[in-house]
Amino acid sequence: MAVTDQQSTIDSPAISQRRYSPDTANSGFRHLLMRMRRRWQLYALLALPLLYIIVFSYVPILGAQIAFRDYTLAGGIWNSQWVGFANFERFFNSFQFTRLIVNTLSLGLYLLVIGFPIPIILALSLNQVRTLWFKKLLQMVTYAPHFISTVVMVGLILQMLNPRFGILAQLTTALGLPSVSVMSKPELYPSIYVWTDIWQHMGFSAIIYLAALTTIDPALHEAAVVDGASKIQRIFHIDIPGIMPIATMLLILNFGNFINIGFEKVLLLQNPVNVSASEILDTYVYKVGLASPTLDFSYATAIGLFKGVIALLMVVVANYSVKRLGQESLW
Amino acid sequence: MTKKLLYTFLFMALMMSVMSVSVYAQGDIAAPAGQFPVVTEPVTLKILISNGEQISDFNTNAYTQWLEEKTGIDLEIEVVNSTDAQTKLNLVLASGDLPDVLLGFPATSSLLAQQGAQGTFVALNDLMAKYGDETKRVFEKERPQLLPLNTSPDGNIYGLPEINECFHCFLSQKMWVYKPWLDKLGIAMPTTTDEFEAMLVAFKEKDPNGNGIADEVPFSGNAEGSGGWHNSVEQYLMNSFVFYDRIQQDRLLLIDGKVQAAYAQPGYKEGLRFLNKLYAEGLIDPNALIQDNAALLQVGSQMEPHLLGAVSGGWMGTYTEAKTLAQGGEMDNWIAVPPLKGPEGVQTAAYAPWGFSVGRFIITNKAAHPDVAFRLADLMYSNEATMRDTFGVEGTDWIKPPEGELGINGKQAAYRTTANWGEGMTDTSWRQTGMTYRTSDFRLSQSATDQFVEVPLYVASNAMLPFAPAIKDLIPPLTYGDSDSKEVTEIQLAVKTYVDEMLTRFITGDANIDSEWDTYLATLDSQGLPRLLEISQKAYEATQAK
Amino acid sequence: MTTLRMPGSTRRKSLSEIQDSKGDRVFTIMNYIFLSVILVIILYPLIYTLSASFSSPSAVISGKVTLFPVDPTLVGYQKIFEYPTLIKGMLNSLFYTIVGSSVSVVLTFLAAYPLTRKDLPGRRFLTIVFFFPMLFSGGLIPFYLVVRDVGMVNTRWALIIPTALSVWNLIITISFLRTSIPDELYEAAQIDGCSDIGYLIKIVLPLAKSLVAVLFLVYAVAQWNQYFLSLVLQTNPELAPLQIVLRNILILNKIDLGMLANVQQMADRQALQEQLKFSSIVVASVPVLLLYPFVQRYFVQGLTIGAIKG
């Protein structure tokens, strides 16, 4: 890079003002253009991802209008019959609506409240381990269950909770307690779902925090040790603030995503007794949408849009709260 | 000169386009009915097929090659696994990326009507009239009752059915008891619900497995919808209180020509009372109501000591590991209980003698030559094609049994499979994928040698048949109009979830049958049950008008 | 680079040289106990799966396997490798994983780096543009139609391009870069005459090695487990990834109740399915498990920042 360019790449208001002001009324706009031109390399980098997101995300979003139409193949996205909010009304008036919302929100919230901090605790705890083989083994083992498919995982859960042959039954009998049929209690359903989820995914979720912990300057720890800080103090005053920005961001993302619980595991753990607690939006969409013998993509899209609106609200609230707390926010 | 050349070229181009238009306008290039090959010029048919996991490669498969040689059609086959067939079907229909032929997909008659009306599926009536040979044999001579059931409300046929008359499947809500226990305790086969109850009490209290511990499970099953086949505890027993069909109609029945829901009848309430009593006495395995099929298999496969006394199920393999059944005559130890007489004298059996699946061969509007595609479908109904599809090549996969070898039904057998059939992958047959025509007689003429499951199932089903309602008193498979169909889907989902949930709660006593019955009926009403019955009534009357 | 010194850096002194206090030792012991408990709880399903894959199917069906293999056998593994499509599926998945994850990581960095720069006009707007699709989508059909119109249906690209960029990972990357790379570095680089792209290549990427590793891992795992996208976008069996092949193998061995065969054959098939269920998990997981130690190398504390210092 040429030496003469070096000065101009520094984005200092003082320099720009000296060069381009005072000017006419639209100086603000021209000033913006100048700033944009100076950052042309950044825009060049962004061009490809932008093109990508427009083609594969925004163009399909135009297709979400089928939520307001009665989609048929012949009519397609643009010419199927316009039905306004009929699909939404049908959903709001459906018998299951209240139950679906309550179940989805409570299960999602439970998962968020428990599932969010645990990987952080695991990562902080792993980070303190100095025995290298033990640390590596632990990381590997906690990461591995992530690869067990949902079908098998559910099979495993049912097997372990089986009141006659399961390991839980063996434990309770050994302790002289009566065996409990855990799966027949609707009130236990969310706990079973959430804790097995944590069991399966906490190691994988901890990876990002482990990576974040590596970027903390060791000098900070060294200085703290010199000052006589204990390990716990260092965790609270160095490690946690160090991963806080990532954690906050993940929290906001989780808020945007917690309505998407994923139907497969919920569905597989369902039985007629716990269905009052286990029917959620995603299982419902699956049942009336993809797995339904009648073709009704408009309805499924309408429910999807509804979920999007809820997610948007969640994110806006989360982002606002984070901002108020003085943390780095999404926008 | 150049101008002349240009004109000549333009003229020729024009002629060619006119000619090609005329070829397509004629459309028909297939040979007349019954003549082979179907085409002499090469014609390619794109077929999307579902449920072909056991076929190593469709395009080199012996049956495919036989079809190609016989008809002269070039078949280009792509495959979707059976579990995801519904998803894929919905996707191709919504996106318009359709093949010429959809083969073996789980279409419904409502879907056929919907897509037929939109012009996506080709109406087959004229093609059948002109090119039908085997189809005429099937729908005009042998199974004329199937034609109206496969015709959409607008009078068109938009898909041909797979016909597979599985006799024991018609009566698959069976009850099985473990005979060695009956023998040991000296109990006769129960004939009434009271005797059945007494039998369960004996199983529970008299230590039939002889290990001195009361670890017997008198009666078990698994939750509906979690695997297995008709294993939920009420499926068989409820038929001693009200006609209760979960094979075809999801518990709708006819009362004086009106479509009604079994789960809203007084008889059902009495049935619940009986089941609740069994549960309260500890005769029903508490897990039976919530466990999945894998857990039931565990209970049923315990041999030392044997644990299970009685169980609901379509056949023994749904509650006992097949390996256990195959050893030491264990399969013969399980015998089916004929329908029991209830306290009010009700003694019936769920019966669904329809034996076909709609829309297994669909020609889409992408097909340039529907006539050629139709002739292929027609050929598939022939006995030779059905044998090649289901079993494979004569001599290697199946043989003609010698004179005197008996079939499942006790008459001379027509074919016996060899060891080749039934193993992992095959390249000689389609393993009943696609479309075939198998009548009950055809199926029952299979040789009864070896440990063939079909024989005990045939015997058990025959014992139930006298108690089944007459066909005219049954609701045939129904076709709903487009908007009705969406409404029905949603009501059915809500009602089914609720009824299954309440069934379990009534049986366990978590909900009180007497005090909560009215609330239960009121909730069904608010979920749209009256509307469901109304739409079904309309659809039922349409089938009777034809 | 030698001019770049981190603020507050002191003489390097290994942490292990410092004697732990009594409180620290108690904490360390508690920590080890806590992690050991987690280890045992998580190890159980893994050992169970492994044991079940080596056990006789009868033992698995009747629930006899609790921890160690019962009637050990290798049939499950023998059988699974008999399927001609398995190796092809593995190779396909390997291709999708390597190419797809590389494309994804590059695309994520291309988008993330400019969005971390506070001096980028329109940064907030652009961030929202990238974030919005996480909440709203057109659903399956519109997505399918776009992929078809760009000509990717039934090609290898179908699994690589249309879902290459994950908004989730993008946001994490932005946040990570913002916190781990101090603004002072950028100012110093500007004085050194470094261009925007040069800064990305010479400073940001070397500093974010652990992030690159994690991103690659996360994308790779998602690619390796990819199933639904292939179901929707591909019908050509030549292109099928491993997960599709495994699913087909498992479905293949389900028993068809409408047409019952000989009991012996049925027993074989039921047994086989039970065994394949577990051996297929092992076969499908081992390659991604092997990837982990490579990523783990980057998880040594202070590695990245220390590397560019003095």
d(CA A263, CA B53): 25
In DSSP terms, which residues pair with B178 in a beta bridge?
A: B334
Nearest C-alpha in B relative to A275: B501
**Cβ of A207 and C214 within 8 Å?**
yes
| B406 token code pair | 């008996």
pLDDT of residue C304: 47
In the prediction, which pLDDT does A6 show? 36
How far is B387 from B384, CA to CA, in rounded Å? 5
Contact in structure between B233 and B275 (CB atoms under 8 Å): yes
CB of A317 within 8 Å of a chain C CB? The answer is no
Report phi then psi at B446, rounded to 5. Answer: -75, 140
Q: Which among C257, C270, C277, C280 is the top mutation candidate for probing chain B, defined by the most B β-carbons within 10 Å of its own β-carbon? A: C257
Supply A124's token pair: 């902080």
Q: pLDDT > 70: what percent of chain C?
A: 84
Say whether C134 and A253 touch across the interface (CB within 8 A). Answer: yes
Query: Is A146 an 8 Å CB contact of chain C?
Result: yes
- Write down the pLDDT at residue B27: 61
Tokens representing B390?
A: 């289901």
Using a CB–CB cutoff of 8 Å, tell me whether B85 touches chain C.
no
B vs C: CB pairs below 8 A: 127
Q: Which chains touch C (3 or more CB pairs under 8 A)?
A: A, B
What is the dihedral sign for C-alpha B109, B110, B112, B116?
A: positive
Under 8 Å CB pairs connecting chains A and C tally to 317
Residue among B80, B213, B263, B291 with most chain A CBs within 10 A, to mutate:
B291
Q: What is the spatial distance between Cα A16 and Cα C121, in angstroms, rounded to a whole number?
A: 14
ipTM value of the model?
Answer: 0.82
* Residues of chain B under the 70 pLDDT cut: 1-27, 52, 419-424, 450-452, 546
| Number of other CB atoms surrounding residue C156 within 10 Å | 17
Which B residues 16-55 touch C at CB under 8 Å?
Answer: 48, 53-54
Q: State the pLDDT at residue C265.
A: 66
Strand, coil or helix: what is B160? Answer: strand
Q: Residue A168 to residues A157, A164, A197, B539, C65: CA-CA distances in angstroms?
A: 10, 9, 18, 50, 14
Cβ–Cβ below 8 Å for A56 and C121: no
Question: Looking at chain B, which residue has its C-alpha nearest residue C141?
Answer: B95
Q: How confident is the model at residue C260 (pLDDT cuts 50, 70, 90)?
A: low
Task: Check CB contact under 8 Å for C165 and A208.
Answer: no
pLDDT bin (cut points 50, 70, 90) of residue C249 is confident
C-contacting residues of B 217-246, CB under 8 Å?
A: 229
In whole angstroms, give the CA distance from residue C263 to residue C275: 18
Instruction: Point out which residues pair with C224 in neighbouring strands.
Output: none
Q: Decide if B194 touches C, using CB distance below 8 A.
A: no
The amino acid at B325:
L
8-state DSSP, B508 = H
Length of chain B: 546
CA distance B340 to B175: 10
Q: What are C147-196's pLDDT values in tens digits? A: 999 999 989 999 999 999 999 899 989 988 888 887 788 888 888 888 88
C-beta of residue A172 within 8 angstroms of C-beta of residue A101 = no
Predicted pLDDT at B300: 92
Q: What is the pLDDT of residue B373?
A: 96
Determine if the peptide bond prior to A272 is cis (ω within 30°): no
Strands B437-438 and B416-417, how do they pair?
Answer: unpaired
Q: Low-confidence residues of chain A, pLDDT below 70?
A: 1-26, 289-291, 295
Cβ neighbours of C179 in A, within 8 Å: 212, 215, 242, 245-246, 328
What's the whole-number mean pLDDT along residues C61-89?
83
* DSSP string over C164-204: ---HHHHHHHHHHHHHHS-HHHHHHHHHTT--HHHHIIIII
Q: Which two tokens mark B152?
A: 């959409």
| Confidence band for C4, pLDDT divided at 50, 70 and 90 | very low
* Pairwise CA distance, residues B315 & B228, whole Å: 9
pLDDT at C19 (0 to 100): 61
Q: What residues contact residue A29 under an 8 Å CB cut-off, 6+ apart?
A: none
Spell out which residues of chain B touch residue C251, defining contact as CB-CB under 8 Å. 53, 81-83
Which residues, 6 or more positions from B82, have their beta carbon under 8 angstroms from its beta carbon?
B50, B51, B53, C251
C228 min Cα distance to partner chain B (Å)? 10
Closest residue in A to C275 (Cα–Cα): A152
Confidence of residue C279 (pLDDT cuts 50, 70, 90): confident
Give the phi and the psi of residue B358 in degrees, each rounded to 5. Answer: -70, 155
Q: Which of C67, C179, C289 to mutate to test the interface with A (most CBs of A within 10 A)?
A: C179
Neighbours, chain B (3 or more CB pairs < 8 A)? A, C
- C2 pLDDT higher than 50: no
Most B CBs within 10 Å, among A73, A103, A268, to test the B interface: A73
Distances (CA, A) of A88 to A259, A287, A306, B277, B497: 18, 17, 8, 44, 22
Chain A residue numbers touching B93 (CB-CB < 8 A): 73, 295
C19 chain-A contacts, CB cut-off 8 A: none
